Structure 1
Amino acid sequence: MAIDGGLLSGLGVVAAVVEAGNFIGAARVLGLTQSGVSRAVARLEQRVGLRLFDRTSRAVTLTDEGRRFYEEVAPLLAGIEDATAAVAGARTVVRGRLRVNVDAAFGHYVLSPHLGTFLARHPELELELVVRDRIGDLVAEGLDVAVRFGDPEPSGLIRLRLAYYRVVTCASPDYVARHGLPQHPSDLLHAAHECIRIREPFTGRFFEWEFQRGEEVLPVDVGGRLVVNDAGSLIGALLGGHGIGQPFEFAVRELLDAGRLVQLLPDWSDEHYPVHVYHRSREHPAAKVRAFLDFLQTLA
């Protein structure tokens, strides 16, 4: 079977442009000139009869047709890399560049502390962690994996539920000394209490406060003068004694153990929030993606 080397080369250039986000970065990775990358893309566009990229002076992005085209060929390119490694006697070698889109709280408190272990296990792998508020378009942005909290987002991506993480209600000892301990979730509606709310960056809605005791679920429409949109700001405000918040337990476990924060309403702390992993390969994800998915399972 004859293989068109020019076609494969062009596909590789397109993949490099998608991952780098521009022609300059792709040229650096491939060891070509920027004009050489541009010509290679133009030849492939002429070959397939599609305009693959929208080009401006500031950015290069996939067109709708280009995104669909790349979505089809990216797994094939990854399969060629894996097959080449296998023939070379390196079936277990994970190599190349892995780009992961991750929720800030999960990335900071769960994933990042363990990445040294993962990279030490795969010395030929380069990992780029991209902190984002939402999944976005993995294909168009050259991302391999996304990790997100909450209910599954509608998409054509492959989705795996990784784990459930507990939500805790807490405040600083200073806040408790000034305002007292709430005895029931409904006590948070009292004007004496300040609740720190989190606004979901993509929808603009506030995350709802729920309290769960066994099968009983009690939503509470709390109020407060401070609104944040990330876990770091929430925890900083809690430590400063401003009010009551609902962070993930993994983000404040050490602070609770050290007494810098106090858990409130522990009998109503059965609420857990799901985290999902998304990837774009429909059938056979690349070895680097499989390795990362296996690694995530060890953190659950």
Structure 2
Amino acid sequence: MSFDGRLLSGMSVLAAVVEAGNFSRAGEALGLSASGVSRAISRLEARLGVRLLDRTTRTIHLTSDGADLYQRAAPHLEGIEEAANYVSGAAVSVRGALKVSLNPIFSRFVLAPKLPLLKERYPGLDLTIVQQGDVGDLVAEGIDVAVRFGDQPSSTMSSRLLLRTRVITVASPAYLARKGVPRQPEDLGAHDCIQYIDPLRGKPFSWEFQRAKEVLPVETNGYLTTNDVDTMVQACLSGLGIAQTLAISVQHLLDSGALVELLPQWPDETYPLYIIRPSRRLAPAAVEAFLNFCSEICRDI
């Protein structure tokens, strides 16, 4: 099969559809209408003689042939983009607008103290930070990079592990003076335990304790259930009950004595933090710089 520009154009459209998830968003990225994207895919399928996408009224999925083609072609498309960026200077110049969606804990306790360093290093970067939880459609919201807690589902997005923070059990001295100190995880059944809602499932996280390979689930109950970390921590500080939270968000309160860590003999439960971008293709220089900066500031945590 001889090569021509129409084949490259069709492959670029296919990659955009895979990364965007539907024809409309791919069209927005390419400057085409949804129908124009659909026609381009149909022409590519006709040229190759195979069906590349399974289409329904709501979803689009790669066929097995489409998945094979995309996996083989994507590195070459990245190479073309890398070459173009290098020639244009984009690969060596960190500048322009960058919109990032950040978990509030990461934003407040990890990134915010380092923002002066980021500005000093990349003065041409125009940064917009949107504080969000660990859910949401990055492509639809125009997000370049997201930082989220929790294991990430398999997708066309690119993710990188930043750190694992301990999950710890805490209470205020006032609560412990009033209710007593639990000595074993099973003792929590007799205590007021603040429940935190998993944003992915819409249900409270289960409480468990880990020590090496030993995992101990514990049934807990309490007066308050919330999906807001600040409310949970403030309620815990006020003496309402015991909370399980991430060490990264309360270390300063532990250091000051405002909160006390409970059951430290079960120290091994951790929770991952990932940095994500919507596409697996070559990242623009501003995106790559932000990814590397976040990795750098997380190394010593």
In structure 2, distance between residues paired with 1:244 and 1:222: 10
The answer to whether the Cα contact below 8 Å between 1:105 and 1:230 also exists between their aligned partners in 2 is: no
In structure 2, distance between residues paired with 1:78 and 1:133: 32
Tell me which residue corresponds to 1:164.
164
The Cα of 1:179 is off from its aligned counterpart by 0.6
Tell me which residue corresponds to 1:282.
280
Structure 1 segment 120-269 matched on structure 2, within 5 A: 120-190=120-190, 193-269=191-267
Q: From the superposition, tell whether residues 202 and 213 of structure 1 become closer, same or farther in structure 2 (CA, over 3 Å).
A: closer
The answer to whether the Cα contact below 8 Å between 1:79 and 1:286 also exists between their aligned partners in 2 is: no
Tell me which residue corresponds to 1:108.
108
SS at match of 2:245: coil
The Cα of 1:204 is off from its aligned counterpart by 1.2
5+ residue gaps, structure 2, are 1-19, 21-27, 39-57, 60-73
The Cα of 1:269 is off from its aligned counterpart by 2.2
Q: From the superposition, tell whether residues 77 and 243 of structure 1 become closer, same or farther in structure 2 (CA, over 3 Å).
A: same
In structure 2, distance between residues paired with 1:214 and 1:223: 26
- TM-score, L = length of structure 2: 0.71
The answer to whether the Cα contact below 8 Å between 2:102 and 2:129 also exists between their aligned partners in 1 is: yes
In structure 2, distance between residues paired with 1:220 and 1:162: 29
Tell me which residue corresponds to 1:34.
none
SS at match of 1:199: strand
Tell me which residue corresponds to 1:24.
none
| Letter aligned with residue 89 of structure 2 | A
| Letter aligned with residue 118 of structure 2 | F
In structure 1, distance between residues paired with 2:172 and 2:277: 39
Tell me which residue corresponds to 2:36.
49
| Letter aligned with residue 220 of structure 1 | V
List per-residue Cα deviations over 1:22-64 (Å, max 9, x = no partner): xxxxxxxxxxxxxxxxxxx8xx54697359xxxxxxxxxxxx8
SS at match of 2:164: strand
In structure 2, distance between residues paired with 1:46 and 1:183: 63
| Letter aligned with residue 276 of structure 2 | Y
The answer to whether the Cα contact below 8 Å between 1:171 and 1:239 also exists between their aligned partners in 2 is: yes
Tell me which residue corresponds to 1:68.
none
The Cα of 1:104 is off from its aligned counterpart by 1.8
The Cα of 1:282 is off from its aligned counterpart by 2.1
- Larger CA deviation: 281-290 vs 241-250: 281-290
| Letter aligned with residue 235 of structure 1 | V
| Letter aligned with residue 242 of structure 1 | L
Q: From the superposition, tell whether residues 220 and 174 of structure 1 become closer, same or farther in structure 2 (CA, over 3 Å).
A: same
In structure 2, distance between residues paired with 1:234 and 1:79: 49
List per-residue Cα deviations over 1:88-141 (Å, max 9, x = no partner): xxx532001111111122222222221221122100001111122234222222
| Letter aligned with residue 186 of structure 1 | E
Q: From the superposition, tell whether residues 183 and 139 of structure 1 become closer, same or farther in structure 2 (CA, over 3 Å).
A: same
- TM-score, L = length of structure 1: 0.71
List per-residue Cα deviations over 1:223-249 (Å, max 9, x = no partner): 111011122111111110110001111
> How well do the aligned residues superpose, as a CA RMSD in angstroms?
3.5
The answer to whether the Cα contact below 8 Å between 1:161 and 1:276 also exists between their aligned partners in 2 is: yes
Structure 1 segment 5-24 matched on structure 2, within 5 A: none
In structure 2, distance between residues paired with 1:131 and 1:242: 27
SS at match of 2:243: coil
Give the fraction of aligned pairs with identical amino acids, expressed as a percent. Answer: 42
Q: From the superposition, tell whether residues 78 and 172 of structure 1 become closer, same or farther in structure 2 (CA, over 3 Å).
A: farther
Tell me which residue corresponds to 1:85.
89
The answer to whether the Cα contact below 8 Å between 2:135 and 2:200 also exists between their aligned partners in 1 is: no
In structure 2, distance between residues paired with 1:47 and 1:256: 54
Q: Is 1:97 the counterpart of 2:84 in the alignment?
A: no
Q: From the superposition, tell whether residues 77 and 140 of structure 1 become closer, same or farther in structure 2 (CA, over 3 Å).
A: farther
SS at match of 2:244: coil
